[in-house]
Structure 1
């Protein structure tokens, strides 16, 4: 599965097709093109629940340039906010807003998008869902409906102990792309 291009959403479930339309009609990814945007999270892998947002990760070299671009392109959207957020060992810029009934979160770091935790978790979770099948997918969705975040839901379903974000990365294969 190639998550680098959202074309796959056109052939997905209703929410995936809605997400495709919103992102395409509003040119969200094209406005972020210089920052190597990738849609991650639960919607691409069909484990979203009713209030799941559209998570877009980006890579920036210049924090101020990224913030300015995000503000210039999205600050007029409903409930727009942007903030700096320490994220493990590096700073992240996080913007949130609403477009056509979906919450959008744009998350930028100085880390290439395919090396960011959100992308790495997406790939691992996609592979685990393919390996364990529909019953497992439904179990993850139910755990999310009970209020668990995605990675803790996977960890619980798999019987993992320790930090779920770290434990899931132990399922990675070595197919990472370089640079953003």
Structure 2
């Protein structure tokens, strides 16, 4: 399984992943935010990005004011820089967006280890599903994303999951791996 905290894997990936690796290294963003345990999540690490994909970087943020100040110091002059902090379901969240190298970048922080944040958990289960299923499945996801679908709803639709797609994927992530593999095998068999 991939070490998602180290972006070196991007430099060995697709041309788009290599481009993202070069940009992130140029910005030095992962090092500058190292105290916040940043992890690139979403479609680029999975190799299923489509035109218009953004770079989502999650961070463990316990002091949103300090985090915003630090990010503003390094990236505040970037195009389309915005910052919003609010509380959702009792959890403080900070979202900072800007453009760099032609890519929309979103930094998302909350006071939770990055490995326990939903964005990370979604990526982990999506990676495992992609590893288990064939290229036709991957292409279905890419096609849906090209047609405007968000990643999690696209996965849920193709997998036949019911209810809230974000929650449904989190439920799959909690399955024992043998049960997940059996589920993926049943999806593959129904083709």
Task: Give TM-score, length-normalised by structure 2.
Answer: 0.88
**Hey, what's the Cα distance between the residues in 2 that align with 1:11 and 1:170?**
31
Local SS of the residue matching 2:154? helix
> Which residue in 2 is equivalent to 1:96?
97
C-alpha distance after superposition, 1:79-114 (max 9, x if no partner): 111112444441210011111111110001011100
Stretches of structure 2 that go unaligned for 5 or more consecutive residues are: 177-191
User: Which of the pair is proportionally richer in helix?
Assistant: 2
Runs of 4+ in 1 over 4 A off after TM superposition: none
Over aligned residues, Cα RMSD in angstroms?
A: 1.4
> Which residue in 1 is equivalent to 2:40?
39
Residue 72, structure 1, aligned to residue 79, structure 2: no
> Which residue in 1 is equivalent to 2:132?
131
Stretches of structure 1 that go unaligned for 5 or more consecutive residues are: 176-180
> Which residue in 1 is equivalent to 2:24?
23
Local SS of the residue matching 1:34? helix
**Hey, what's the Cα distance between the residues in 2 that align with 1:87 and 1:165?**
16
Larger Rg: 2
* Cα offset, 1:174, TM superposition: 7.9
**Hey, what's the Cα distance between the residues in 2 that align with 1:88 and 1:157?**
29
> Which residue in 1 is equivalent to 2:188?
none
**Hey, what's the Cα distance between the residues in 1 that align with 2:60 and 2:104?**
20
**Hey, what's the Cα distance between the residues in 2 that align with 1:71 and 1:51?**
24
Kindly tell me the number of residue pairs found equivalent between the two proteins. Answer: 175
Distance 1:87-1:143 versus aligned 2 partners, 3 A rule: farther
> Which residue in 1 is equivalent to 2:187?
none
**Hey, what's the Cα distance between the residues in 1 that align with 2:152 and 2:168?**
9
C-alpha distance after superposition, 1:91-147 (max 9, x if no partner): 210011111111110001011100000000000000000111211111001111111
Aligned partners of 2:86 and 2:92 also within 8 Å: yes
Distance 1:5-1:174 versus aligned 2 partners, 3 A rule: farther
Task: Please give the residue correspondences for 1:132-147 in structure 2 after superposition, counting only pairs within 5 Å.
Answer: 132-147=133-148
**Hey, what's the Cα distance between the residues in 1 that align with 2:32 and 2:103?**
18
**Hey, what's the Cα distance between the residues in 2 that align with 1:23 and 1:144?**
24
Local SS of the residue matching 1:78? coil
**Hey, what's the Cα distance between the residues in 2 that align with 1:28 and 1:127?**
27
**Hey, what's the Cα distance between the residues in 1 that align with 2:10 and 2:135?**
19
* Cα offset, 1:173, TM superposition: 4.8
Local SS of the residue matching 2:98? strand
